Structure 1
Amino acid sequence: MNHGAWCWYRAVTLLRLAGHRATALDMAGCGVHPARVDEVLTFEDYSRPLLDALDALPPGEKVVLVAHSHGGYSVALAVERFPEKVAAAVFVTASMPAVGRAMAATSDELLAYVGDDFFMDSQDFEQRNPNISGRPFIFGPEFMAQKVYNMSPPEDLNLGLMLIRPANSFTTNNSKAVVMRDENLLTAGRYGSARRVYVTVEDDHAIPVGFQHRMIAESPAVEVEGIAAGGADHMVMISRAEELAELLVRIAGGVDMVQ
């Protein structure tokens, strides 16, 4: 959350050097996307760059989608909408919703798991647009340093502090959070039938490994890979970019990219 495509700069470079076509997308209002946070009305609007990219794929072509953190919800939505275009969905220490449950339920459970004080100096902002569910939120510098970039190089922490933008979670429990609160959104025949791989990160302080395994237990058909303890934080695409890229190459090597 709050991050853009820029945080994948190391992993994308390594994937391209390995001969793969790799693209990192900004969700609406993130990174260099031109929309302001108060112009992105719904979670579907937020995820629109990913949905449009899949819709534009040539017939018969498939991709491996890689989600990180809050991006797991956008990938889940994309798989549900375009299962025939997804060779695999990889959740890298990401929020991974379960079939037959509202996506926001996973967010609610994570917040209950970590507790009220978990986000430290992170801030909510006033919502300027009454048509948007919830309030914009941004990670605080201490939270970023201690729980998100705690094993990453200090220059990447500073880069993150310069580039993060406020974002809405769209999980507020009201009638405006239509997509995130829809218990019938994720179906067994579409999202549930796709190849899904969860990549655990043992030392992640932002989505604790215990909660990662809790999400895995709720989706027993999911394959599990892992980044072992030592050197990997929540921003594993930065702190352990080489190991993550090698893992993604191995996962991609086991799928049929053309139907």
Structure 2
Amino acid sequence: MHTVWKGAISFGLVHVPVKMYTATEDKDIHFRSLHKDCGMPINYAKTCRHCEKEVGPDDIVKGFEYEKGKFVIVKEEELEAIKPESAKTIQILDFVDLPDIDPIYFQKAYYLSPDMAGAGAYSLLLEAIKQSGKIGIAKISIRSKSSLAAIRFVDNCLCLETMFFPDEIRSISQVPNLPEQTVVNEKELAMAKTLVEQLSEKFDPSKYTDDYRIALTELIEQKIAGESIDIVTAPDTEGRSNVIDLMAALQASLDATKAPPAPAAPKRKRTTKKKQDHVS
């Protein structure tokens, strides 16, 4: 794993040297933009519209647009001078209960490992969090971005989750068309709650997969192998009525949860191109 941050956690007078590693990875399939005529990748050069020429890294500075077309220049040494203490230290401010934090605050997960001779202090903090059932709320700066953070444990590892600050969360009042109060049919509600109960089980992340990424990977592999596939068009849903019979839909959903699982759908038909032998 690549170290993305190095510093220390402090809580009270305890100092825990740590290294930080990204806990998740991007599995998305990324495409390059190619020139249609020759198939070569397209380069995206940084150019100045005024000077009409390409600009190198040494000629680029940071600017904040405070009015349309007006910028204030901020130098790298000025940014360095105002870096907060959290650029080097993860200072735990409070310990709270995890259920008290709405998931909307969470951003990205990182693993923390002990650094240098910090194994003893690391184990102390890990065990204190485990046995107290609390998580630490701290501040951290990563790559010039300051964030709140939640420090918890995963098995025998401290895990840090970066969080949004409260003023970064948009107000619910900005969401259009929300009902002022919920009015539901009691029979429909009872059936909906029954459906929720029948679909409830212990969370098992291994049962969830990215079906689109799997299909896209399969498509790319077939193209690399020189295979062709039959494209199946999804059925048109435009003609469906928008009027929903909730009771009927709920009953059908309940019946489906009781029915045995349906057989797996057949795989897409593959047609392999046969290579012709050339006779010399």
Question: TM-score of the superposition, structure 2-length normalised?
Answer: 0.18
Larger C-alpha radius of gyration, 1 or 2?
Answer: 2
Q: Which has the higher helix share?
A: 1
Q: Which has the higher strand share?
A: 2
User: Whose relative contact order is higher, 1 or 2, with alpha carbons under 8 Å and at least 6 apart?
Assistant: 1
